[in-house]
Amino acid sequence: MDREASVARTPTITRGSRQLRNWQNFQAWIDAHSDSTWVFRGLGDVDFSLIPTIGRIPQYSLSRELSVLASFRRRALQFANDAGFTNWEYLALAQHHGVPTRLLDWTTNPLVAAYFAASAMPAERDVVIRRRATRATPHASGVACRVVATRVRHSRVVDMESDGDPLSISEIAFMLPRVISNRIGSQSGLFSVHPAPDHPWLDPLEDSDHVFQIAGEDRDFFLKRLFYLGVDPLYLMGGLDGLGARAAWQAKRGIGLGATK
């Protein structure tokens, strides 16, 4: 056979076909984690660890954590109806509104986790710009992200009635809060609670079969596919904030704008 003819028939793997193959690999990964015991978390940087926000603050202390929570709870009544919230639900409410807590957000929907992974900004890095060392956030397209899956056994679910104090648990567990916010409901959300919030949780990241990595250059491809499936800021955030964020994302990419007059 003519070598040139053979080479000519060799299919070229384009960027688009590679990205589509990676998306299909993600769908297969989802199928392998499809029973109801799996939960998922998106990490916007391949170097991110599983450590709660309160534990990321330098020189974490329990006294500071308690002060932060007490301050939030005292003022929260100005803006939200108490509705008989338990200590656990106040903790979830604080986490949901950006207060640093010992909780980590998870979801039962892997597509939601993929959205948060692909849309999140990576961490700052040490770089050299014009021969000067500094720290900067690289463009997301240059940094891989990942979706993590872990099993939640019944024994690891907190009984919020008998375990009344979130700060008293001795092992990492999961809490299933009431839907105290529309966003928690739309995101199929639940939380892991960490008794040592300044220590990263290593177990879910140790088995590569349960971690799906998305190349930085594939982030936008994944976000477009998720948009086509209805997983976008409006679905996840709701309200005018979600609508505005979705409109901004669509305008930037020029997709899904619909008919206009």
pLDDT per residue over 79-91, tens digit each? 766 667 788 888 9
Q: What pLDDT score does 183 carry?
A: 55
Pick the residue with more confidence: 159 or 198?
Answer: 198
Task: Kindly report, residue by residue over 169-205, the tens digit of the pLDDT.
Answer: 999 999 987 755 555 555 678 999 999 999 999 999 9
Which residue do the tokens 């872990």 mark? 150
- Listing DSSP states for 160-213 in one string gives TTTS--TTS--S-EEE-----SHHHHHTTEEEEE-SSTTS---HHHH-GGGEEE
Whether 17 is covered by a domain: the verdict is no
Output 258 or 204, whichever has higher pLDDT.
204
Q: With respect to residue 196, please indicate whether it lies within any of the assigned structural domains.
A: yes
Cα separation, 118 vs 159, in Å, equals: 33
**Mean pLDDT confidence for 127-138:** 77
For residue 107, what pLDDT is reported? 94
99 has a pLDDT exceeding 60: yes
Is the predicted pLDDT of residue 8 greater than 50, yes or no?
A: no
Least confident stretch, 22-36, 89-103, 210-224 = 89-103
pLDDT, position 83: 62
What is the pLDDT of the chain when averaged over all its residues? Answer: 85
- How many other CB atoms are found less than 10 A from the CB of residue 23? 18
Return the half-sphere exposure (C-beta side, CA atoms, 13 A cut-off) of residue 13: 5
Percent of the chain surpassing pLDDT 90: 52
Is 21 part of a structural domain of the chain?
no
Q: How many domains does the chain have?
A: 1
In a domain, 19, yes or no: no
Angle between helices 219-228 and 239-253 (to 10 degrees): 120
pLDDT of residue 26: 97
Which residues have a Cβ under 8 Å from the Cβ of 259 and sit 6 or more positions away?
none
Query: Is the model more confident about 108 or about 182?
Result: 108
260 lies in some domain = no
The answer to whether residue 257 sits within a structural domain is no
Residue 226 lies in a domain: yes
Q: What is the pLDDT of residue 43?
A: 98
Residue 15 is assigned to a structural domain of this protein: no
Residue range(s) defining the domain that contains residue 117: 42-252
Angle among Cα 183, 70, 76 to the nearest 5 degrees reads: 45
Question: Please, which pLDDT band fits residue 5 given cuts at 50, 70 and 90?
Answer: very low
